[in-house]
Structure 1
Amino acid sequence: MPLRVGLLALLLALAGLQYRLLLAPGNLFEVQALKERVGREQATVDHLAERNGQLAAEVEDLRTGLAAVEDRARAELGMIRPGETFIRVIE
Structure 2
Amino acid sequence: MKSLTAIFVILVALMQYPLWFGKGSWLRVWSLNHQIDAQKKTNADNQVRNNVLNAEVGDLKQGFSAIEERARNELGMIKQDEIFFQVTNHEKDKKENEASSNSQAKH
Does the pair score TM above 0.5? Answer: yes
1:24 maps to amino acid: G
Task: Report matched runs for 1:10-25 at 5 Å.
Answer: 11-25=9-23
Q: In structure 1, what is the Cα distance between the partners aligned to 2:8 and 2:48?
A: 54
The Cα RMSD (Å) is: 2.2
Q: How many residues align?
A: 88
Q: In structure 1, what is the Cα distance between the partners aligned to 2:46 and 2:54?
A: 12
Shift of 1:9: 6.8
Could you state the TM-score of these two structures normalised by the residue count of structure 1? 0.77
Shift of 1:72: 0.4
Task: Report matched runs for 1:1-91 at 5 Å.
Answer: 11-90=9-88, 91=93
Q: Which runs of 5+ in 1 are unaligned?
A: none
Q: In structure 2, what is the Cα distance between the partners aligned to 1:83 and 1:12?
A: 92
Could you state the TM-score of these two structures normalised by the residue count of structure 2? 0.67
Q: Equivalent pairs: percent with the same residue?
A: 35
Shift of 1:47: 1.0
2:83 maps to amino acid: T
Q: Which runs of 5+ in 2 are unaligned?
A: 94-107
Q: In structure 2, what is the Cα distance between the partners aligned to 1:51 and 1:29?
A: 34
Q: In structure 2, what is the Cα distance between the partners aligned to 1:77 and 1:15?
A: 71
